[in-house]
Amino acid sequence: MKSLYLRVWLTVVVVLALFALGSGWLAQRHVQQERERLIQQSAAAGFGDRARAMAELIGQALPDADEDHAQQAAALRQWSERLRMPLALDDVMGRRIASSASFERRLAEGAAAPPLAVPLEDGRTLWMLRGPRPGGERRGAGGPAGFDRPVPPPPGWDVSWVAAFDPMRTGSGLVAVLAALFLAVAVGAYPVVRRLTRRLENLQRGVERFGSGSLAHRVDDAGRDEVAQLAASFNRAAERIESLVQSHSRLVANASHELRSPLARLKVALGLLQDSQEESTRARLRQEINHNLRELDALVEELLLSSRLQAQATQVQGHGERPHHTFDLLATVAEEAARAGAELTHTDGRTPVLGEERLLRRALRNLLENARRYGQGAVEVEIHHRNTSGTPMAEVHVLDRGPGVPAHEAQRIFEPFYRLPGHAESEGGVGLGLSLVLQIAQHHGGQAEVQPREGGGSCFILRVPLQPAPRASSV
């Protein structure tokens, strides 16, 4: 069976049917037991009343208490045979005078009910047992004076409800009630089960549509149950996948464009080099070819680094590990600032960082190169300690006096291959430097941003978490 809703619905129906059958059988058995118990109680009560009346008559017919025990025993046995009732007689001292053979036999076989003791007026005690149904006679078929017939309940007893629930009379009614309950629940459960499985079917169609290439497709996640949570999780995953695919497409398109420009210049330079005879022209063309080759090498290196950072970010999300070690960020910043001719104007002291020094050095180098290329005047570097959401952070500020970054472009400049309007390709760079800075910062659990500098210019901030100080061991 392929349809989930049919399997769920049939499971509910089968369980309900078993429950209804079991409940009906238990109810019928309980009613039967209660009916037999009440009938037995009423019969026992009736037997006791008639037995006392019979004992009074037998006591008057028996010889007196001071007569010979043999005469008393003979008279007792005669009455036992006449009434077909097991009897026994005790004297005033409680000693057994005589008992009938049926009385002894019934006691030896184990009577269903204990014998009934009826005190006589002269102090003797007459013991009586209810007579058996000889030959397996039906109830009420034998016995003197109808002694074994069903006895009506005594006054005040109401067993009409037992008769009302007689299985022979109410069996069909109980079956009808259970059948109606079964049909009602089966019909009522179908739309609920169908609605649940229909939402799962819609989710399946949405996943198939997304997998076929409609990356913008989203499924309905209305509701608060598990199906709605599953749909919401799918929408979040689809949004991330769409964003990654679009980013990858832009990266490939921009990379192919950026690679085409130096390749075209190389092709032109090589053609001119072959045709040129002047040594000065050939030297200039060789220099241009070397420059284009270095530019291609830098572009390929940045593309590979960007891809590696994205792969490592995916690995970390999948509970991977980063090969980090501890180093002093202050020493790294001082070395890179001296190399770029920038001035380290402020520091809050030592800054131990857990991470990859080579990557952070590359991020600092990109920031300093960007400030040198687009800024005007000297480049300054500052190091500050901050506490962001309870986490100690180290902030490296790279300040320049360039034209600044418009507020609406402050986030876009960190996108791959994005250049501010007016920044031509001839000024150098392909727009991957700041994107790598952001990726490296996020790789270390930090962030990168740009803010306007007081007095003009820009302040690029590289923020990474500091390594927590080790706790002092208590003695």
**β-strand pairing of 343-347 with 380-388:** parallel
pLDDT of the residue at 150: 46
* Residue spans of the chain under pLDDT 70: 1-5, 7, 38-49, 111-113, 131-174, 250-251, 254-255, 257-258, 261, 310-324, 421-431, 469-475
Enter the tokens of residue 257.
């464009």
pLDDT of the residue at 148: 44
pLDDT of the residue at 33: 77
In Å, how far from its chain's centre is CA 169?
A: 50
CATH number for the domain running over 325-465: 3.30.565.10
pLDDT of the residue at 168: 44
Kindly report whether the global pTM for this prediction surpasses the value 0.85.
no
CA distance 74 to 66: 15
pLDDT of the residue at 5: 64
Q: Which residues of 347-382 are buried (b: 16+ CB within 10 A; e: fewer)?
A: beeebebbbbbebbbbbbbbbbbbbbebbeeebbbb
Residues in the chain: 475
**β-strand pairing of 352-355 with 325-328:** antiparallel
CATH number for the domain running over 226-317: 1.10.287.130
Map out the domains of the chain as residue ranges.
4-168, 226-317, 325-465
pLDDT of the residue at 464: 93
pLDDT of the residue at 59: 80
pLDDT of the residue at 173: 65
pLDDT of the residue at 422: 60
pLDDT of the residue at 379: 93
Q: SS3 of 464, please?
A: strand
pLDDT of the residue at 282: 83
Residue 4 burial (CB count, 10 A): 14
| DSSP per-residue letters across 265-331 | HHHHHHHHHHH---HHHHHHHHHHHHHHHHHHHHHHHHHHHHHHHHHHHHHHHTT-----EEEEHHH
* Residues 6 or more apart whose Cβ sits within 8 Å of residue 199: 220, 223, 227, 231
